[in-house]
Structure 1
């Protein structure tokens, strides 16, 4: 519980600091139209190679130099797209669904998911603030946070990350205080963990508590 409390305190502090020290410009209608088009194009670039990586793996060979180069190209592009998206967020803040539409809104999260840890940490509070205003999806924030935690060998807090390699059956990566997970998921508009577990064919029998 101490770990979770510390984590939440860090994010709350970061949100407060970002709100008080960063002033974002209010984009005009014309700027929003342009940003929408730009972000949708970025999304296309972000997803194109990822849609064919299985085919590339099959044709090039998983351990081949060609397949290694394939991912080098993807990683190089990821850095370029990350810079483009973070420049937009730095200037205008996290753009909500009502401003640029669902696809352009998703682009910001998608690119950050493939970006650096420092960018995830910096912009996660802005995404959460957008989620609480119902201008972004809670699942995106949860996946961003959980991925950071799992990649740091720490327990996730929303239960979005699944380990498919630990055995024959999929299972959740370790979860911090799993008896309170539905409380945390509810705070950002997510469905109960039981529903998600059933969808992924994972057994869930941990009794939930309210704080």
Structure 2
């Protein structure tokens, strides 16, 4: 299941060289794989709860299926993901990412600073689109909170993430959730 999920997303690495028709084709396949995986995983979770004695890869597959679902399912299983992270079945970073994503989609500031979003900013008196860190609930405590779940300091995260995607990610501590609407 994990391998199918990741294989269905492999095309995104070369997305800039694809035609619009190819993007639609690959997106349709990715959504088909997600739908099948979600039906399987959510059926198990709803009937039996999180299975015990799974491999690390199988536990990771369950998390990734939840992560790739819509907000309703992410919200529904967030508490279960937190429980499994506290038990050591999942990484605490998995919970932090899912929690921040749910909060962002609900229009709330994030806790751990894992989510970025494109936002209009003013650069040299012009409006430009820029990748920005989604607003954080407690900027002063961010690095401390990140360390509790095994995440690197925010400055390091922004630097390495910017380098890996080839575009600067800006953290404007003055931006609020309303600035992203």
Deviation at 1:84, TM superposition (A): 0.7
Mapped contact 1:57–1:67 kept (Cα < 8 A): no
If asked which structure has higher relative contact order (CA below 8 Å, sep 6+), I would say 1
Question: Quick check: 1:112 aligned with 2:112?
Answer: no
Question: Normalising by the residue count of structure 1, what TM-score does the alignment of the two structures yield?
Answer: 0.63
Residues 24-65 of structure 1: per-residue CA shift (max 9 Å, x gap): xxxxxxxxxxxxxxxxxx111111121123446524x1xx34
> Which structure carries more strand by proportion?
2
> Which structure carries more helix by proportion?
1
Question: Quick check: 1:78 aligned with 2:34?
Answer: yes
Q: Which runs of 5 or more structure 2 residues have no equivalent in the other structure?
A: 121-127, 163-168, 174-181
Q: Which residue of 1 aligns with 2:3?
A: 44
Question: Normalising by the residue count of structure 2, what TM-score does the alignment of the two structures yield?
Answer: 0.72
Mapped contact 2:11–2:26 kept (Cα < 8 A): no
Task: Measure, in 1, the Cα distance between the counterparts of 2:49 and 2:147.
Answer: 25
Task: Measure, in 1, the Cα distance between the counterparts of 2:129 and 2:63.
Answer: 31
Larger Cα-atom Rg: 1
* 4+ residue segments displaced more than 4 Å: 164-170, 201-206
Residues 123-151 of structure 1: per-residue CA shift (max 9 Å, x gap): 11111111112221111111112122223
RMSD: 2.9
Task: Measure, in 2, the Cα distance between the counterparts of 1:203 and 1:58.
Answer: 26
Task: Measure, in 1, the Cα distance between the counterparts of 2:46 and 2:104.
Answer: 27
Mapped contact 1:163–1:172 kept (Cα < 8 A): yes
Q: Classify the secondary structure of the residue corresponding to 1:142.
A: helix
Q: Which residue of 1 aligns with 2:116?
A: 162
Question: Quick check: 1:197 aligned with 2:158?
Answer: yes
- Number of positions where the alignment pairs a residue of Structure 1 with one of Structure 2: 160
Mapped contact 2:132–2:171 kept (Cα < 8 A): no
